[in-house]
Chains A and B, each alone.
Chain A
């Protein structure tokens, strides 16, 4: 799961250095609003789940590790 997320984020959000699973995507400005919406759409499609607005929090989307935990809990 983390590999899928890493591949998507590295392809979509070309940072100077490759993004790692524990990197802070929000605080470091890697994800903007549109990027976050695209990422959520990707997660919904790829992992066949619906992310309700209430779950779109920093705790769930700060890093790829956080996203993986969130997705695992939802599965």
Chain B
């Protein structure tokens, strides 16, 4: 067993971290308070080549071969340097649930049309899967597509879609054969401005407030035949194809944030004095820091294992569920411990300590809740 990184991998991770720190290492109090998404930040990331990690050079990407290991390390570095957890979350969402499915399932024309614009930051894309009545039971969706001459008519509503309010291109999951349930789903590429499509406003949320979430409405929205992504009925395969890439990189961003959080906490408890001594000398404080370190390292082990399994083409069903459950819950716990160790300072928004907790809570809900991960683990254990 060898979990060591090559010098090139480490160098790239550090380069991304330095880039993030230099460009996104400042205060996000205002953007967080006002739920502001920065298109300029998005374009900076694209210029650096981050969105391009999910697209090959032939279609405007920054890599010859899309690598989950490289992308995971890059996002870990990014999460460490960037003080806005929303930005790495949004990057991963577009890269793996929009670009990668188009790269994997798209026709040559679709790849040429959409990928260069997405990789360059010119366009933003979203993955429209969840609906008002289908959250964890996502495949019970109601949005439908009816075949008409030259294309399809889409009808339905998508809910809580990351980047929904600002997207230029949307992968819409619809039922094309209701009798087959989840196996009768297909995906269409809808563009902003298509007749019958409207995007709702940003819906402010507890955390990750710099990334717009919103609802999408399709009312007899005509989509030409050539906008079908993959064959009819490929919806399940499409959403499944990038699940582990998405999971690894989103969680890698959180892992980077956890490492930064730990370092800041150590620095704080070593200088803060109460009752005539440094608070790091109180075991109730230092034990919390020790727990944070344990959560960080066990999360990292699972993350690297899943990324490695995927990079060598091995299945990681169990490990992936364990990772999602473990890391996302750990980020919540460590964010709480950080607030406890900072006392009153940790509770005040302008100090930018409590934001991690609000951002972390989303992680136990999106991309498969913690409850769903436990169900998967139990089922894989034969229960």
Contact = CB atoms under 8 A, between A and B. Distances in A.
Q: Do A and B bind each other?
A: yes
Interface of A: 26-27, 29, 32-34, 36-38, 41, 44, 50, 53-59, 61-62
Contact of A27 (B183, B237, B238, B315): B183
Contacts of B240: 33, 37, 53, 56
Interface of B: 104-105, 139, 179-184, 230-231, 233-234, 236-238, 240-241, 313, 315, 317, 376, 379-380
A58 B139 contact: no
26 contacts: A26-B180, A26-B181, A26-B183, A27-B181, A27-B183, A32-B182, A33-B139, A33-B182, A37-B240, A37-B315, A38-B380, A53-B237, A53-B240, A54-B105, A54-B230, A54-B234, A54-B237, A55-B237, A56-B240, A57-B231, A57-B234, A57-B237, A58-B180, A58-B183, A59-B233, A62-B183
B180 A34 contact: no
B180 A27 contact: yes
A37 B184 CA distance: 17
A58 B104 CA distance: 18
A56 B235 CA distance: 10
B247 to A, nearest CB: 14
Contacts of B313: 50
Contacts of A29: 181
A9 B322 CA distance: 25
Contacts of A44: 315
Nearest to B182: A33
Nearest to A40: B315
Nearest to A62: B183
B317 A33 contact: no
Q: Is chain A's binding surface mostly helix, strand, loop or mixed?
A: helix
Nearest to B104: A53
A2 to B, nearest CB: 21
A13 to B, nearest CB: 12
A44 B315 CA distance: 10
Given A34-B376, A37-B317, A53-B104, A58 B238 contact: no
Given A34-B380, A54-B237, A56-B240, A41 B317 contact: yes
Given A33-B236, A37-B317, A38-B317, A53 B181 contact: no
A45 B141 CA distance: 33
A65 B353 CA distance: 58
A67 to B, nearest CB: 14
Contacts of B237: 53-57
A27 B317 CA distance: 24
Contacts of B182: 32-33
Given A57-B233, A58-B184, 10 more contacts: A26-B181, A29-B181, A32-B182, A33-B182, A34-B380, A37-B315, A38-B317, A44-B315, A50-B313, A61-B183
Contacts of B380: 34, 38
A26 B315 CA distance: 22
A70 to B, nearest CB: 13
Nearest to B105: A54
Given A27-B179, A27-B180, A34-B376, A54 B104 contact: yes
Nearest to B317: A37
A27 B284 CA distance: 56
A44 B313 CA distance: 11
A53 B376 contact: no
A36 B241 CA distance: 13
B231 to A, nearest CB: 6
Contacts of B233: 57-59
A33 B139 CA distance: 10
A61 B315 CA distance: 19
B234 A34 contact: no
A20 B120 CA distance: 51
B175 to A, nearest CB: 13
Contacts of B139: 33
B317 A34 contact: yes
Contacts of B376: 34
Nearest to B379: A34
Given A26-B180, A33-B139, A56 B315 contact: no
Nearest to A51: B237
